[in-house]
C-alpha cells in the first residue's frame, strides 16, 4: 500500500526529527527540509506530496507563512499546516484551511490534522 507523503519543514534538527518520527509512526512517508528554499525544491521534485507541515521562523529569508502562500499559489491541492513558537503575526491574514498549532504542540492534535488533510 502506498503511504501518503508529508513534507516536514523545520530548521531545528531535533524538532524536525521529532515531527518526522511522529508522522511516520502514524503511517505516512515523511520528507524533510530545513528551510523554505529546500522545501520548494523538494516540492518541484516530488509531485506526490499531500501535506506540508512547516515551522514559521526559519533562516534564509523566506518564512513558513510566505512558504505557505507560495505553495498555495503553485500547488493549490497541497494541504498546509503551520506551527510556531510565536503567536500568528497579528498583521498577517490566516489563510483559509491552514491549521495553526502553537509550539509546543499536542501530538494527537497535529496528527488528527495531518490525517484529515491527507485523506
| Residue positions counted in the chain | 119
Question: What's the closest the beta carbon of residue 47 comes to other proteins, in angstroms?
Answer: 30
Whole-number Å distance between alpha carbons of 16 and 94: 23
CB nearer other proteins, residue 52 or residue 55: 55
Radius of gyration in angstroms for the set of CA atoms belonging to the chain, rounded to a whole number: 13
Contact residues: other proteins, CB under 8 A: 12, 14-15, 17-18, 21-22, 57, 85-87, 102-108
CB nearer other proteins, residue 48 or residue 102: 102
Question: What's the closest the beta carbon of residue 85 comes to other proteins, in angstroms?
Answer: 3
CB nearer other proteins, residue 45 or residue 108: 108
Question: What's the closest the beta carbon of residue 83 comes to other proteins, in angstroms?
Answer: 9
Question: What's the closest the beta carbon of residue 82 comes to other proteins, in angstroms?
Answer: 14
Whole-number Å distance between alpha carbons of 9 and 16: 7
CB nearer other proteins, residue 47 or residue 116: 116
Amino acid at each position: 500500500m502506498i503511504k501518503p507523503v508529508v513534507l516536514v519543514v523545520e530548521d531545528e534538527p531535533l524538532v524536525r526529527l521529532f515531527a518526522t518520527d511522529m508522522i511516520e509512526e502514524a503511517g505516512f512517508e515523511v520528507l524533510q527540509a530545513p528551510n523554505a528554499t529546500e522545501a520548494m525544491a523538494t516540492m518541484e521534485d516530488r509531485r506526490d506530496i499531500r501535506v506540508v507541515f512547516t515551522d514559521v521562523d526559519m533562516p534564509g529569508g523566506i518564512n513558513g507563512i510566505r512558504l505557505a502562500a507560495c505553495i498555495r499559489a503553485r500547488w493549490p491541492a497541497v494541504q498546509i499546516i503551520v506551527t510556531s513558537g510565536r503567536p500568528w503575526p497579528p498583521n498577517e491574514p490566516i489563510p483559509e484551511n491552514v491549521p495553526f498549532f502553537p509550539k509546543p504542540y499536542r501530538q494527537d492534535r497535529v496528527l488528527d490534522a495531518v490525517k484529515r488533510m491527507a485523506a
